Amino acid sequence: MTARARIRDAAIRQFADRGFAGATMRGIAAAAGVSVGLVQYHFSSKQELRRACDDAVVERFGSRLSRQAHEGLLSDPDVMAAVIHAGEPLARYLARALSEESEAGNRMFDRLAEAAESFLSTTWPRRFPPGSRDAADTAAVMAAMHGGLVVLNGQVARRLGVDPLAPDNAARIGTAMSRLYIALGGFAESARAPVLPEDLDEP
């Protein structure tokens, strides 16, 4: 790994833990095991360093989500949990970005929604025609549901007594998500659920 990449990854962890305002160039340098001068050689300002972190997080998370959507696995709770836990520092950075409504947060939410829309239109093309408002609306809500676990990780941790973004808890979070989807599926099939016109001819 290059010095630039090592600095960037250390900055991702520092920004995730301390926030953009709380993280310092000196602290980032110490975490990366380099001098402050080397950090400033590669990144002229903390703002420039944050943009590099934003780009890296969007690219890494976005590529994982796009791959899951392409393989038709985006609705699999275990897969979604694995995506989050495989990039724990990225998830914590993303939580900060989304809660601050930053440029990175906006781009990441767009990638979440785009991946969800691709999955919906590929899996149920008649119910969610590509480019339709129904597909876009449902994808936005789906992205918000999945992103909520990341953004509200502190509240979830308080209720569960464990950190939902810690790798050791992936199975527990995946199980809870599975139960939720099963319950929603049961509700949709019950007499209480409204019958949508497009459901009448859905195989």
Given this model, what pLDDT does residue 87 score?
Answer: 60
Residue 19's domain comprises 1-44
Split into its structural domains, the chain has a count of 2
| Cα–Cα distance, 68 to 17 (Å, whole number) | 28
Please indicate, yes or no, whether residues 167 and 75 belong to a single structural domain of this protein.
yes
| Cα–Cα distance, 100 to 160 (Å, whole number) | 24
Instruction: Give whole-number Cα distances, 110 to 26, 81, 115, 196, in Å.
Output: 33, 19, 9, 27
Given this model, what pLDDT does residue 25 score?
Answer: 96
pTM of the complete model beyond 0.75: no
Please indicate, yes or no, whether residues 6 and 78 belong to a single structural domain of this protein.
no
Please indicate, yes or no, whether residues 140 and 168 belong to a single structural domain of this protein.
yes
Please indicate, yes or no, whether residues 192 and 110 belong to a single structural domain of this protein.
yes
Given this model, what pLDDT does residue 110 score?
Answer: 86
